[in-house]
A = this chain, B = another copy of it.
Amino acid sequence: MIGTRLPVLAVDLGGTKILAALIADGKMMFKDYSPTHAVRGIHAVVKHIFEAIDRVIGQTDRDLSQIHSISIAAAGAIDTKNGIITLSPNLPGWRNVPLAKMVEEKYQAKTYLIHDANAAALGEHRYGAGKGVRNLVFLTVSTGIGGGIIINNKIYEGAAGAAGEIGHMTIDIHGPMCLCGNTGCLEMLASGTAMAREAIRLIKAGKKSSLADMVNGNIDTITAREIATAAEDGDFVAIAAINWSATNLGVGLVNVVNIFNPEMIIIGGGVSNFGELLLEPARKVVGERAFPYLAQMVKIVRAKLGDDAGVIGAEVFAKGQKT
């Protein structure tokens, strides 16, 4: 099939930015970043997507006949089969938007739509940290926590393409309410947002911290980014918040290990940039609490593809579909 050698025009539609690129065999050409401007509404965002696609095509000497397909990774509740964004927390007002069809009609090119965490899982599995691993679970830890499950080398999508919401697994039945309506979700206890909330709590409880100065006293604006900087300088509150968050992440990973018995867990997303500061305490919890022989066989590693995982996985997904 010569078609599978052609590049995919992949788009990662995020809440703040759109990344579009031409990708062949995991190699990216003509990366194009642009702002999503999500608040401008559906039609404006779709126009921004079209513009991003146009710019990528414009940079190449190809026309659309020399492209395998268009493949879009997006956050939210994605109906992969029908190419519909059912609901998206990052895209206000988006409900049942048939994005794949809209793009397909505009470009007359086969268009796929996939959940962004699933895409990232596929990307890491094929070209990143999970190469050659049969069963793995990918977690993206950033402002929220998303997940993608690879079983027998394929993405596991569930009944409606919505499987893998590992961030919305209750680990604390008495924990804080989550935006999703559930309580004590992993996302509420181990995301970058949760980490910042814990640091803010500690400072408000009277702990001294360089974080307060870093945000000019606007304590509520502390994010994981400031915590990373403060931790490098040995700030107590920063380190305590990271440990708290990493321990909670570890509890979530124990569940993943006991449920999936995976060969590997890959941690991606912005918070994974904390590296061993995050992974070491999380691994310790897994070693202490998960079934011992399952804990021994699971590798818990950082993702390798960074922000490119989504578009790279979108190519993998498109090429894996029967055309």
**Contact A162-B261, Cβ < 8 Å, known A173-B175, A289-B182:** yes
Indicate if A193 sits at the interface (CB-CB under 8 A).
no
- How many Å from the CB of A57 to the closest CB on chain B? 35
Q: For chain A, which range describes its interface: under 10, 10 to 19, 20 to 34, or 35 or more residues?
A: 35 or more
- B261 touching A259, Cβ below 8 Å: no
Instruction: Give the shortest distance, in Å, between A252 (CB) and chain B (any CB).
Output: 8
Q: Given contacts A171-B173, A289-B182, A290-B182, are A263 and B159 in contact (CB under 8 A)?
A: yes
Among candidates B147, B181, B248, B258, residue contacting A165 with C-beta atoms closer than 8 Å: B258
Q: What separation, in Å, do the CA atoms of A134 and B254 have in the docked complex?
A: 27
Q: Which of B157, B160, B165 contacts A259 (CB 8 A)?
A: B165
**Bound Cα distance from A125 to B94, whole angstroms:** 37
Bound complex: CA of A248 vs CA of B173, how far in Å?
8
Q: Is the CB of A262 within 8 A of B173?
A: no
Interface assignment of A123: CB less than 8 Å from any CB of chain B: no
Against B, the Cβ 8 Å flags (1 = close, 0 = not) of A127-148 are 0000000110000000000010
Q: Is there contact, CB below 8 Å, between B158 and A262?
A: yes
Closest residue of B by beta carbon distance from A161? B261
Q: Are A168 and B260 in contact (CB under 8 A)?
A: no
Q: Which residues of B contact A162 (CB under 8 A)?
A: 261, 291, 293-294
A251 at the interface (CB under 8 A from B): yes
- Identify the closest chain B residue to A162 (Cβ): B261
- A170–B168 CB distance below 8 A: no
Q: How far is the CA of A135 from the CA of B159 in the complex (A)?
A: 7
- Taking the complex as formed, is A305 at the interface, i.e. its CB lies under 8 A from any CB of chain B? no
Contacts of A310 in B (CB 8 A): none
Instruction: Provide the bound-state CA to CA distance between A169 and B289, in Å.
Output: 10
Contact B297 A159 (CB under 8 A): yes
